[in-house]
Amino acid sequence: MKPFHRLSLALVGAALATPLAAQTPARTVIHAGHLLAEPGKPARGAATIIVEGGKIVSIADGHQPAEAGATLIDLSDKYVLPGLIDSHVHLTSDAGGLAGQLEEVTLSPAAQAFNAEVNGMKTLRAGFTTVRNLGDGDGATLALRDAILAGKVQGPRIVDAGASISGSAGHMDGSLGYRDELRPFFAGAGNTCNGADDCRRAVRLQIGRGADVIKFASTGGVNSRIGAGLGKQMFDDEAQAIVDTAHLFGKKVAVHAHGADGIRLALAAGADSIEHGTILDEATIAQWAKSKTYYVPTLSTVNGYKERLAANPDAYEPDVLAKIRWRISITGKSLEQLVPRGVKIAFGTDAGVSKHGRNGDEFELMVQHGMTPLEALKAATVNAADLLGLADQIGSIAPGKSADIIAVASDPLADVRVLKKVDFVMARGRVVD
């Protein structure tokens, strides 16, 4: 059996005393057995990828010899493809229901930051070299994003939304479910807004904190601790103010939306992506098909719900549990309707509701609900890179792009489930343990 990859012992020793940013070898030569450099374009056979300074330098057919001093990584019995992208995660927690609510009042921001680092590494080891983190009130993932960029710690590239925005008593109102005298404390994050001017303020607050993208909720949510349904919970001028302000600053906008009325609201406002998109009618589908707005299905949430309920039937309070059972019953139906109509799809799991490190489970669900393996893989590479505004850096293996590379045992276009077990991960030119 061929060695999985060969790295010098000198490099391993140096890693103990050298900052992460300086640990990337000067030049790395990767021998790929099969190369799917850009999903959607024909796969190549044996190929050699040259990596230097965290970037891809060149790609050549066949297995070219490694020059003296270069590190050789032997993936000649693997299928090699770009690092995957999850467009919807929440890195600070893996808890849900009442356990998640308890975390909100017991974990300090510092503890949440450690959670985010651990969950980020689970995600990275699963082959997801870039994530879009859509909601964290205490700034833990903003700090983790910066630490990863600075080479202080290892983790996926993070595109972060800061704190998600909603109207008061909406899905992102952190004070829901608490006693009246405690509600002002949880409402103090500044992420809820009332009226267009106040919603502009909420967006500017997140941008000032360093958010890369803005997320807001136009409808109720499954996990909201309020029995107010899943329909529209924001006025047209409020949603438009959020989108316009974000776009003014060059930030894209992701919208949490379940009900058809809230989806139409987000489409009309010019949202860049709609998350969940659970309830559709023909008018909504037709409007979406004419737009450039991406759909991020987040099908994996049902796995997290099922697992938590199997472990504890009382994991969720009754108002939330009723919505969860509905969500399980309807999941995937929107994807089945939107794919044939040509709506753009980007991969996203809502990990944190589902389990971190299990992001690859989404591929199987996407295929079960109307996508081909190739379409699902494109959603997690070229499409997601386009949605995140990073198509010039990630989403394919090409000279000049970030050396985000993974390998699996067999052809993912024949059986997408192979992406549940990634055998090799390189992020920005550095091999992940």
- pLDDT by residue for the chain (433 residues), tens only, comes to 333 344 433 333 334 344 555 555 689 999 999 999 999 999 999 999 999 999 999 999 999 999 998 999 999 999 999 999 999 999 998 776 666 666 677 677 888 888 999 999 999 999 999 999 998 878 899 999 999 999 999 999 999 999 999 988 777 776 666 667 666 666 556 889 999 999 999 999 999 999 999 999 999 888 776 767 789 999 999 999 999 999 999 999 999 999 999 999 999 999 999 999 999 999 999 999 999 999 999 999 999 989 888 998 988 888 888 888 989 999 999 999 999 999 999 999 999 999 999 999 999 999 999 999 999 999 999 999 999 999 999 999 999 999 999 999 999 999 999 999 999 999 999 999 8
CB 61 within 8 A of CB 35: no
- Position 108 scores a pLDDT of 78
- Which of 68, 154, 224, 88 has the alpha carbon at shortest distance from 431? 154
CA pair distance 266, 269, nearest whole angstrom: 5
Give the max Cα distance, the chain.
69
Name the CATH topology of 9-83+396-431.
Answer: Urease, subunit C; domain 1 (2.30.40)
CA pair distance 269, 416, nearest whole angstrom: 35
CA pair distance 319, 398, nearest whole angstrom: 49
CA pair distance 255, 265, nearest whole angstrom: 10
CB 28 within 8 A of CB 71: yes
CA pair distance 277, 329, nearest whole angstrom: 14
Helix (H/G/I), strand (E/B), else coil: 194? coil
Instruction: List, by residue range, all CATH 2.30.40.10 domains of the chain.
Output: 9-83+396-431
Whole-model pTM? 0.91
Instruction: List, by residue range, all CATH 3.20.20.140 domains of the chain.
Output: 84-387
CB 301 within 8 A of CB 271: no
User: What CATH code is assigned to 84-387?
Assistant: 3.20.20.140
CB 169 within 8 A of CB 187: no
CB 4 within 8 A of CB 424: yes
- Position 186 scores a pLDDT of 62
